[in-house]
Structure formats: structure tokens, C-alpha cells
Amino acid sequence: MATKLNQIIAVEKGVKSRAHQDLTAAHHGLQKPALLAGISRTYQPKDEEGEQLPPESTLVQVKAEDVLRDTARALTRLFDVTATKDWANCEARADITVDGRVLVERVPVAYLLFLEKQLTDINTFVRKLPVLDAAESWTQDPSTDAWKTEVVRTVRTKKVPRNHVKAEATDKHPAQVEVYYEDVPVGYWTTVKFSGALPARRVNELLERVEKLQQAVKFAREEANSAEVTDQRVGDAVFGYLFG
């Protein structure tokens, strides 16, 4: 049964983790001189009446050549899996298709991954585009290349003091007068609002396009990653030279 690129990607992390653990363990083992050292000694008294002592011996527990061989074996799997993935990535390609139309042909996996990240950022950017105030009615104005509202005419008023006689004057009391202010029209404002924002319809249309392309790129990546791979045997050559 042929191996797929997505299967290689799935196991790569575990292989990398195990290889790192094995290399770390080998490194630590070689840093303990006692494990590398062995000894064998026997005792002979000066004369036959002398004290007899038993021989002493300590075996070598770690041999550097064995560690090299085991390390090469552990890392060879990592080197082969990574090589298989990287070689396959050079060949694995897929078309980006939107609404039945091929937008970009034979896109490599690495570029599809780049596009996915970029489109996530573009999606955020489009969602934050300024939108025209829905409470106003907007039309495009060719002279300013912006949007504008209908002309609104409003009255400008000015407060003018007025006297209100509460009680007429008599021969005993002066008149009681209260001052109040009246809004009197003095002119007219003619207002047109302009905006460089976008209609909600346009923003929604852009967002729909971005999301369609995001979906298409994901489909393309899945298709590219389902390509069959050829197992690469790089580790033997590398470690055959390094530790041979």
C-alpha cells in the first residue's frame, strides 16, 4: 500500500521527538566517565605467608562505538522521514479552483500553506473595513470619487430677547416685565455629507470572495497532501560517512 504525504507529515513529529530523546540520552551517557571505565586487577603477596586478596574487576558499561551505532540508527529514521516529506513537497501540487474555475495551476504545498496564513490576515482586514452609515442614503459622486448624501436644508436660528408684560404699570407700581428669548430664523444651512467608506454590500461581497478562496486553498492543500510519496533513504548515506 502506497504511503501518502499526509501520513508522513502525521508521523514526522513523533519520529522527531523520539530521535531527540535518544540523542539526548546518548549524549548524557557519554558524559559519565564511570560508565565508560573498566578495570581488572589481581593481588599477589610478596611471600607465601602474605595475605591473599581476591581479584577485583569492573566491566565497561558504555562503549562509545555502540552509542554511535545506536544514535545513527535512531537518527536515520528521522533523516529518512524528513527527506521523504521534503522530496514529496517538491512534487506535491494542486490547482486552486473557485466556482469551477482554476485560479492558479499546480501550486506547491509550501505556497498553499503561505496562502492560507495570508488569507487569514486578509479576512481580518476585510472584516474591519469602514462601512457607510446605514441611517443615511448614499450615492456615488464622480466629482469627488466618494459617496455623498442627498442635500439637507436646515434653518439657522438666533435667540432674540422679547419682553412679556405680566402686569401693566399703575400709578402705584411700575409695569412687571419678564424677558424671554425667542428662536428667530436668520438663515439656512444646506448640508451634503461625504464619505470614503464602503457600502455594506461591497464589504460582504469582498468577505465572501476571501472565504471562498480560503476554502479552495484548504481543498488544494488536502489534495496535494494526498499525493503518494517515494520513501527516501538518506540516513544510511549520511551516517555511513559520519560514523563509518
Look at residue 1 in the predicted model and tell me its pLDDT.
Answer: 65
pLDDT tens digits along 83-93:
999 999 989 99
d(CA 173, CA 188): 44
Model confidence pLDDT, tens digit, residues 15-71: 999 999 988 888 887 788 877 788 888 888 888 888 888 888 887 777 878 888 888
Q: How confident is the model at residue 152 (pLDDT cuts 50, 70, 90)?
A: very high
- The residue ranges of every structural domain in the chain are 1-92+227-244, 94-137+201-225, 151-191
- Grid cell at residue 85: 516529506
So what's the pLDDT on residue 173?
Answer: 78
